[in-house]
């Protein structure tokens, strides 16, 4: 499938054509003005007569024809903001256009030009499928504690929350880093740092974004070329009182006249570094601020994930500035991160390479790679258009109360040397059972009695509770897939023969067990995330997002939710669900 990808802005248009993974054409129109624009094809730049975005898009068919690019099968569009409604790429129709337009207040400087490109492209290629891919979708896996501002409820209800951007870039480079390490992204904790004219950091924990430095808009977070990054909101009142500036003036300055430009007069890090080397004190300060902000977010995200396996640096500055990479990584030895100076000086990024530049003995991998947002968009367009619709199918829903999976050592510590659990009632999954024994859980705030033990034994003890249970215990149990126990809090297990303090306390991510045959029939794959519509008492419906698919031979198809989720859906004991589409973006 040959996909044409557009990334439109108010003063530029970037485009690429991808045949599978191969980019067969690349061009950009920049600096639109009454007298035309700069047209860059490959490495050559010339003047072109197109004065605006409409003219540039209208020129694309002839441009492709002139360079021998034949037959386009689909068009993909980058959209900056998808709100909470667009959880994944979507095929564009009139209704989708209207929904995107309604999101303009969330991205007034980005979405309008991108939406204009959508409308123009639909007119030029009316018979081709057109797909929108959203920067924000990858970050919709962020938990509420990362997305919620502590502001009045009316503001939050109006839509004020953190979203995060550069999602296509962070998704691509995290995936590329996992490939370079020869590991599954679902086993890694990665901090992705995109450093270009726009800059952001992202915490990717076990394949999902859990936090991003950008917020409701692309202003929050790191220092950027012309954008401020983090600023005290009280600055608005101060500037109004002291300088007489109104909100539009302040907002415009934070977007276009801040960042490196405000600190040094130049938004180009290459210029800033040259001036700093020549003794310019303002440039030196700007570099220190830029690196400090990035390093601060890196450390914060390592703490948020309970550890760090890899850092990946991308974007024009992340890819090309050895000194900035060094400044960001220096001082992180306490995390086990050490750079190799020689590897850092000149990493070879040819052919989308992702070289590692950490020193021998570093516990954290450091990877440099070029971002490939257009390639990622083309991939997502292909995946959407080639994916067959799942077969509608009823899925049994079981409510999973608090329980514990014990290791052999834990059984002996709690019940005595040589003790063997007594299997009681069998569970629906073959070979699984509820033990006759019970134990207690104790945290700093309270205690839960008569907690069930499920068999068979596991190599590592895992304790599964609901979010409400975790507050009753006084502990912050993270939402995790089964077996992902690193960095989880410790809780006290109390049995008749002893007690044991161990980590492994989680709120189990909602999931569906299914066999390979059932998964194939429903169009599902192991590790994917889907949406499930569950019907509770009185016909009450609730759509659960981000339901993990776990495919294994010999299992019975069944969805597991905890008691909090069951209460929200009005389910008591068991219920029924049906597939409702793909969930938010994932690796």
Q: 527 by DSSP, 3-state: which? A: coil
> Is 261 marked within a binding site?
no
Does residue 587 fall inside a structural domain? no
> Is 565 marked within a binding site?
no
Taking residue 515's Cβ as centre, other Cβ atoms within 10 Å add up to: 15
Do residue 561 and residue 483 come from a single domain?
no
Does residue 145 fall inside a structural domain? no
Q: At what angle do helices 281-305 and 322-329 cross, to 10 degrees?
A: 50
Tens-digit pLDDT profile for residues 221-234: 999 999 999 999 99
> Is 422 marked within a binding site?
no
Do residue 249 and residue 327 come from a single domain?
yes
DSSP structure string for 323-336: HHHHHHHTT-GGGT
Does residue 150 fall inside a structural domain? no
Q: Considering 19, 65, 127, 135, which one is annotated as catalytic?
A: 135
The average confidence (pLDDT) of the chain is 94
Does residue 339 fall inside a structural domain? yes
The confidence band for 317, taking pLDDT boundaries of 50, 70 and 90, is: very high
Q: Residue 498 phi/psi, 5° resolution? A: 170, -175
Do residue 175 and residue 313 come from a single domain?
yes
Do residue 417 and residue 536 come from a single domain?
no
Range of the domain at 408: 403-506
Taking residue 243's Cβ as centre, other Cβ atoms within 10 Å add up to: 9
> Is 295 marked within a binding site?
no
> Is 560 marked within a binding site?
no
How far apart, in whole angstroms, are the C-alpha atoms of residue 96 and residue 86? 9
Do residue 178 and residue 100 come from a single domain?
no
How far apart, in whole angstroms, are the C-alpha atoms of residue 198 and residue 215? 13
CATH code assigned at 538: 2.40.40
Do residue 237 and residue 359 come from a single domain?
yes
> Is 63 marked within a binding site?
no
CATH code assigned at 330: 3.30.420.40
> Do the beta carbons of residue 285 and residue 293 sit within 8 Å?
no
Do residue 339 and residue 234 come from a single domain?
yes
Asked if residue 403 has a cis previous peptide bond (ω within 30° of 0), the answer is no
The confidence band for 59, taking pLDDT boundaries of 50, 70 and 90, is: very high
pTM: 0.87
> Is 578 marked within a binding site?
no
Residue 583 has pLDDT above 90, yes or no: no
Tens-digit pLDDT profile for residues 439-464: 999 999 999 999 999 999 999 999 99
Last residue of a domain, one of 80, 113, 134: 134
> Is 145 marked within a binding site?
no
Is 135 assigned a catalytic role? yes
> Is 469 marked within a binding site?
no
Does residue 141 fall inside a structural domain? no
Tens-digit pLDDT profile for residues 27-44: 999 989 999 999 999 889
Do residue 112 and residue 128 come from a single domain?
yes
Tens-digit pLDDT profile for residues 485-496: 998 999 999 999
> Do the beta carbons of residue 208 and residue 141 sit within 8 Å?
yes
Do residue 234 and residue 190 come from a single domain?
yes
Do residue 277 and residue 332 come from a single domain?
yes
> Is 78 marked within a binding site?
yes
Tens-digit pLDDT profile for residues 505-547: 999 999 999 999 888 888 888 888 888 998 876 666 788 988 9
Do residue 341 and residue 438 come from a single domain?
no
Beta bridge partners of 339: 358
For the chain, the residue count is 587
Residue 389 has pLDDT above 70, yes or no: no
pLDDT of 43: 82
Do residue 479 and residue 515 come from a single domain?
no
Tens-digit pLDDT profile for residues 321-352: 999 999 999 999 999 999 999 999 999 999 99
pLDDT of 581: 74
């Amino acid at each position: 499938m040959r996909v044409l990808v557009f990334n439109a802005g108010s003063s530029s248009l970037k485009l690429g054509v991808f045949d599978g993974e191969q980019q067969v054409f690349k061009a950009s129109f920049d600096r639109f003005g009454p007298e035309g624009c700069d047209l860059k094809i490959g490495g050559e730049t010339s003047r072109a007569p197109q004065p605006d975005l409409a003219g540039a898009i209208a020129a694309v068919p002839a441009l492709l024809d002139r360079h021998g690019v034949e037959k386009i099968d689909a068009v993909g569009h980058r959209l900056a903001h998808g709100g909470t409604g667009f959880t994944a790429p979507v095929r564009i129709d009139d209704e989708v256009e209207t929904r995107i337009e309604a999101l303009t207040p969330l991205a007034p400087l980005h979405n309008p030009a991108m939406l204009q490109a959508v409308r123009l492209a639909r007119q030029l290629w009316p018979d081709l499928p057109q797909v929108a891919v959203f920067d924000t979708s990858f970050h919709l896996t962020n938990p509420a504690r990362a997305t919620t501002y502590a502001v009045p409820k009316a503001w939050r209800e109006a839509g004020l929350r953190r979203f995060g951007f550069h999602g296509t870039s962070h998704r691509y480079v995290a995936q590329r880093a996992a490939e370079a390490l020869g590991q599954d992204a679902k086993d890694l904790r990665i901090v992705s740092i995109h450093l270009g004219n726009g800059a952001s950091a992202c915490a990717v924990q076990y394949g999902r974004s859990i936090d991003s430095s950008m917020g409701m808009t692309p202003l929050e977070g790191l220092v950027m070329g012309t954008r401020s990054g983090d600023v005290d909101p009280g600055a608005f009142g101060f500037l109004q009182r002291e300088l007489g500036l109104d909100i539009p003036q302040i907002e415009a300055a934070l977007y276009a006249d801040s960042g490196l430009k405000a600190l040094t007069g130049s938004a180009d890090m290459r210029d800033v570094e040259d001036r700093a080397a020549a003794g310019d004190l303002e440039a030196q300060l700007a570099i220190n601020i830029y690196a400090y902000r990035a390093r601060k977010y890196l450390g914060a995200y390592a703490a948020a994930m309970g550890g760090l396996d890899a850092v990946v640096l991308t974007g024009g500055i992340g890819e090309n500035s050895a000194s900035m990479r060094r400044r960001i990584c220096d001082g992180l030895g306490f995390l086990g991160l050490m750079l190799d100076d020689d590897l850092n000086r000149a990493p070879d990024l040819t052919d989308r390479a992702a070289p590692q530049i950490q020193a021998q003995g570093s516990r954290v991998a450091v990877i440099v790679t070029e971002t490939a947002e257009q390639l990622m968009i083309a991939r997502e367009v292909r995946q959407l258009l080639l994916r067959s619709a799942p077969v509608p199918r009823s899925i049994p829903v079981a409510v999973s109360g608090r329980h514990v999976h014990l290791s052999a050592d834990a059984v002996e510590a709690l019940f005595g040397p040589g003790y063997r659990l007594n299997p009681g009632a069998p569970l629906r999954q073959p070979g699984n059972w509820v033990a006759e024994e019970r134990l207690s859980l104790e945290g700093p705030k309270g205690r839960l009695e008569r907690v069930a033990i499920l068999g068979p034994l596991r190599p590592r003890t895992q304790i599964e509770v609901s979010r409400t249970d975790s507050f009753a215990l006084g502990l912050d149990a993270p939402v995790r897939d089964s077996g992902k126990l690193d960095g989880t809090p410790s809780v006290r297990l109390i049995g008749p023969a002893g007690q044991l303090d161990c980590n492994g306390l989680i709120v189990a991510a909602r999931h569906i067990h299914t066999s390979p045959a059932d998964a194939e029939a429903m169009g599902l794959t192991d590790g994917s995330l889907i949406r499930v519509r569950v019907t509770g008492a009185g016909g009450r419906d609730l759509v659960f997002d981000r339901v993990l698919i776990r495919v294994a031979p010999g299992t019975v198809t069944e969805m597991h939710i905890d008691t909090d989720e069951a209460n929200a859906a009005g389910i008591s004991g068991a219920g029924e669900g049906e597939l409702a589409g793909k969930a938010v973006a994932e690796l």
